[in-house]
Every structure is written in structure tokens, then in C-alpha cells.
Amino acid sequence: MNIIKKSIVILIIFTLTIGISFTSRAENEVEENVPNVNNDIDINDDINANLEDILNRNGIPTKTNSVIEQTKDDGNYFGFSRNPITLDYDINGDVFVFCTKKVTIDAHILGNVFICANEVEITNKSEISSSLFCIAKKTKIAGGINLNTYCATGDFSLEEDSFIYKNLYLTAQNISLDGLIESNAMIAGDSIVFKDTCCIEGNLNYSAPNEIEIPETVVGGITNFSNNKANINKENVAKLKIKHIINNIISYVIFGIILYLVLNIIKSKIITNDLDFKSNILSYILLGLLGLFVTPFLIILLFIIPFFSQFAFVILGLYILLLIIASTNTIITLSKICADKLHDKIRINDILRTILFIILFGITYNLLKLIPHFGAIVTLIIGILGIGITIKNILPNKEQNQ
């Protein structure tokens, strides 16, 4: 427990340190008048959604129409705007743009270009000396990119006379490829069109719903195709479900048999006591409900009370174990009762006869669980009975007290 207490103290100190750090950082941002964005961009926003709507849904101020800055020290360009942005002059550094409208690059960019916008156009007069990183609803490249292109977009078009001197990494819904790609192309899309004048000098790896007939002159290296369409075979799905159900039933029955044999070896009262199930069913239900719902509150209470937290861990472990074996205890009890009552009709070893009923009841119980709604009720009732049976057989009875 000393280790646990020390760990808790260290965790509290670490949390307070982090909180103070974030508080100081927030104060500095307020002093610098940086626009406050209360919520992060939702990663579930559709790539084809209007970027301006995404901004509104995620709490970016609507009064700020444009915040654009170009640093003088290193020549980098930073753009944040709700209006269209056109870069028609050369930039000696990197470009970082976030725009709800269209971004047009019509100049020479010496560094990398990072763009998130509704629409992106790289004109035939432009050239990017490094790599392009782009997220947009629509992307059109008619100019040149000297290194790699990384793009996730709705519609993508690589125009004639355009060039990418390294690799193209692309995922889009609709793709139209022309121009020159001097190295490899890795693309994935729903609709892909290769123009006759397109040239990929390296390898092509593409993923699409169906294989595409590509002109022989387009790809200079190896072409690899993978199907990204979910081909669902109903027969295979049904077979997998049946196999999963059968595996669950077999596992449950084997666990029930092993648990019964263990209880029989240790002479547990669940096995040795010849209890009248009907007369005790109400007490089983009452004890089961108390055990199921009262135990968690007891565990929480012990965690709160000083010097008793170690007992809380023990009770928590026992509670989890009780939940695991609860339904199996009910099946074993019912099987033992039926095996005893049919002693004269099924003349085999008592243990084998009980195991036979465990198999029958185990299969029936798992099949009943598959019924919608009704299965959940059956699972709850069997679980409550199992908890009650276990608790009642743990508690001392009157005969033991006498």
C-alpha cells in the first residue's frame, strides 16, 4: 500500500504541474490576442462538407474574416482566412494556409506547401520546389511539384503538362490523372481515370472498387491493384456467425463442466447440499439483487474510508469472479437437481449424469441468449440466481450453527 500511496501522491503532483503549465500558456495566449478556438475540429466531419460550416460547428469565431501574416525573418507565409486566398508572388519559405474558400497558387514557392481549404488550385504558372500537403474538397494541379505530393480530397485532377518529380500519395473519391509522375503513384479512390497522355515512370499501386483498364503507355513500372469494395457474401457471414455461436457454446459448456468438477472435488455446498430450489428461489433472487447492486457501493465506500482500501481491492476481485461464474452456478445447480430427480431413469454415474444435464442446459441457455430482448432478460435472471446461489451457500446455515 505504501507504493500505491506514493504513486497517488506523484500523480497528484504531476497533474497540478500540468495544470499550472496549461494555465500559464493560456494566459500568454490571451495577452498576445491570439484568436481563441474553444473546440477542436471534429475528425468525423466529412471531407466533402463545406469548410465554412465545419468552422461554425467547431466554434471558430465568425467575426474574424481573415488573419493573414507573412513573416519577414524566414520568408514563410501563414494564412488563416474566410475569404479566397491567391498567392501570385514568389515566396522564399514554406506556406501554411487554412481557408474556408478557394486557395490559388500562381507563383514559385521555394519551400513546402501545407493547405487545408474547400478548393485548391495549383496553376500552370506555379512551381513548388518542395512537397505539397493538401486536404480539400476539390484539388486541381496544373503546375509543377519538385518533390512528393500528399493529398486527401473529394475530387482530384492532375492536368496535362503538370509534373510531380517524386511520388504521389493520394486518396480521393473521383480521380483524373494526366501529366507526368516521375516516380511512384499510390492512389485510392472510387472513380479513377487515366488519360492517354498520363505518364507514371515508376510503379503504380491503386485501390478501387474494380480493376481499371490502363493504357500500356501510362505506367513504366509494375501495376498493383487491390479491391477496396466490401464484397459481403451473405453465406460466408452466416457461416462465420454460426461458427462463432458454436465456439461460444462449446467454451461455456467446457467451463461449466470444469467448474462442476472443481466444486465436486472441494465438496462445495453448491454440490453437496440437497437444497429445495423452489422453496429457496425467493432468497436466491433477493441475495442475488443485493450482491449485484449493493456490492459496488460497498467497494466505493471502502475505497473512501482510510485504512480500508486494501479490503476494497479484495472485494472487487471477488465481485468480478462472482459475476464470471454466476450463470454457470445456476446451470450447475439446475443440472444437479435434474440429475438427482432422474436418478432412476438415467442409470449412469452421478457425475456423468450431472455433466450430461450441464451440457443440455448450457446449450439451451446460450441459444436463449440469442433471442433479441428476451435473451437479455434471461441472462439477467440467470445471473441474479447464480449470485444468490453462491452467496447463500457461502453464508452459514442453521444446521452449522447448531
The one-character DSSP state at 197 is T
Helix or strand run (H / E) with residue 244 = helix 234-265
Helix or strand run (H / E) with residue 185 = strand 185-188
CA distance 104 to 119: 8
Q: Is the dihedral of CA 336, 340, 341, 345 positive or negative?
A: positive
pLDDT tens digit sequence for 14-45: 444 444 444 444 444 434 444 443 444 444 44
Q: Determine the pLDDT at residue 85.
A: 92
**Total H helices, total E strands in the chain:** 9, 19
Q: Determine the pLDDT at residue 384.
A: 92
pLDDT tens-place values along the chain, 402 residues long? 444 444 444 444 444 444 444 444 444 443 444 444 344 444 444 444 555 565 555 555 444 445 555 554 568 888 888 889 999 999 998 999 989 899 999 999 999 999 999 999 999 999 999 999 999 999 999 999 999 999 999 999 999 889 999 999 999 999 999 989 999 999 999 899 999 889 999 999 999 888 888 888 899 999 998 887 655 566 677 788 888 889 999 999 999 999 989 888 887 776 655 456 777 888 888 988 988 888 888 888 888 887 777 788 888 888 898 899 899 988 998 888 888 888 778 778 888 988 999 999 999 999 999 888 898 999 999 999 889 888 887 776 654 444
Instruction: Write the burial class of residue 62 (CB in 10 Å: 0-12 exposed, 13-18 middle, 19+ buried).
Output: exposed
**CA-CA-CA-CA dihedral for 210, 213, 217, 222, to nearest 10:** 40
Chain centroid offset of residue 142 CA: 38
CA distance 67 to 77: 12
Q: Is the dihedral of CA 367, 373, 379, 385 positive or negative?
A: negative
Q: Determine the pLDDT at residue 27.
A: 42
In sequence order, what are the residues at sequence separation of 6 or more whose Cβ sits closer than 8 angstroms to the Cβ of residue 90?
Answer: 107, 108, 109, 110
Would strands 77-81 and 66-70 be described as parallel, antiparallel, or unpaired? antiparallel
The one-character DSSP state at 322 is H
Q: Determine the pLDDT at residue 24.
A: 44
Evaluate if pTM is beyond 0.75: no
Q: Determine the pLDDT at residue 187.
A: 93
